[in-house]
Chains A and B, each alone.
Chain A
Amino acid sequence: MIEKRGDSCGIAYINVSSVTHAMRGQKVLSANGIKSRIKRNTKKDHSVGCGYVLSVSSKDIVRAEQILMENGIKVAAPAKKGGEFI
């Protein structure tokens, strides 16, 4: 399940389990008109260790979440501001 978190700039981060999933996620979102960026997650004590996040506009997060799930993109722990994990 994807838990969405937004920061004050209106950017939300979705934690994905690998760089391949991040790239496939970006492609799927782009095909559906949603811009995203791939970033490394940054917090050292997050629940899974190294990984990647997809950053999307906060307004797109619900749709992005739905599209990723429909396309079988697996996500790990929920992400928040700056790509850090809660």
Chain B
Amino acid sequence: MIYLDNSATTNPKPQSVINASDNALRMSANPGRSGHSLSSAAAKKVYDTRCEAAEFFGVENEENVIFTPSCTFSLNTAIKSLMKNGGHAVVSELEHNAVIRPLEHLKDRGVTYTKAKVYIGDDDKTIDSFRSSINKDTRAIICTHASNVFGIRLPVERICALAHIYGIPFVLDAAQSAGIAGINMADGYDIVCIAPHKGLYAPMGTGLMLLSGDISPDTLVEGGTGSNSLSPTQPQEHPDKFESGTLNFPGIAGMYEGLRFVKSKGISRIFEHELRLLSILYQRLSKNPKIVLYTPFPKPESFVPVFSFNVKDKHSEQVSEYLQKNGIAVRAGLHCAPSAHEAFGTIDSGTVRISPSAFTRERDIERTAYVLSKI
């Protein structure tokens, strides 16, 4: 199987990740709950992972690295806290449902939002688009780092700076970028939401929420934290405030090794490898008259290594099925981001999405191009 669905979750995971999760399952003690040696060792591994993530993303205090069950959970926490009293939010037109659906859910509390248009390769125009979307009621700007459908990269450092000029908190959805694009909390992000099972090669069921030192969102859930148990109210100290219930220890142990894997390979090296492969595929497909491409050649300043295409007169799911029969795994349809498809006029057919990983080989890409040439 040639796996090109790494934007959904990376596959394979590094052996070190598999071993770490396996060991954690064998250890099978609850971190931060008991005083025995197994629980203490589990708590130490969780803490080490917190420190590793803090270093990786430039979080000043590791207590502001929050483990969640998913990037969606992190985004819900951020959005439902910042918008709890109603008001207006600005998002990009390329957002995932993890951003759009919480905002829609909050409409009965008076929340409204504006989708800012994104201009590929023209950051100034994109910034102007965000600026003109802000109004006096804007409470948050929530923006994807990169489209999970088309790979378009947004100038998030500049959008964050724009938000702060207006005194508005900025939430970064880094689901598709963490591990392949540099993210540093020193750039001023208020909240960064991450899907570690993608570019950080962690197991599924893991999520991260990184907080700046100046923000403490409301909780989405409350419950047992292993601390301050006599109090009926939720502890306010980070990370306990946000980590009620037993943590996904096998996932977190795997995340530790995933972070180390990416660090050892180097973000820029992984990015260059994946983008080079996509560039090869792009060139092959652009010569195929049956293929419909939606974005320009993927330049590193404007794209992450994800792209979408279609085959003329075929639904994207038919193409995916054809590729599956030929041993190639991709994702078709709307990719939980109908807004992005509306922007590109692909809402009816969806698109076929290709996303490589650090493990993808050039011959995998050549084979994919060949199979598509025969469709």
Contacts and interface: CB of A to CB of B under 8 A. Distances in A.
B144 interface: no
A18 interface: yes
Contact of A21 (B34, B230, B237): B237
Given A24-B63, A74-B237, A19 B231 contact: no
Interface stretch (B7-15, B220-228, B361-369): B220-228
Interface string A46-69: 111111100000000000000000
Interface residues of B, number: 24
Contact of B228 (A23, A38, A49): A49
A4 interface: no
Nearest to A50: B229
Contacts of A23: 43-44, 47
B32 interface: yes
A81 to B, nearest CB: 17
Given A23-B44, A24-B62, A38-B40, A18 B226 contact: yes
Contacts of A50: 33, 226-229
B235 interface: yes
B61 interface: yes
A32 interface: no
Contacts of A47: 230
A6 B229 CA distance: 25
A18 B40 contact: no
Contacts of B44: 23
11 contacts: A18-B225, A18-B235, A19-B43, A19-B226, A20-B50, A21-B63, A23-B44, A24-B47, A50-B33, A50-B229, A76-B228
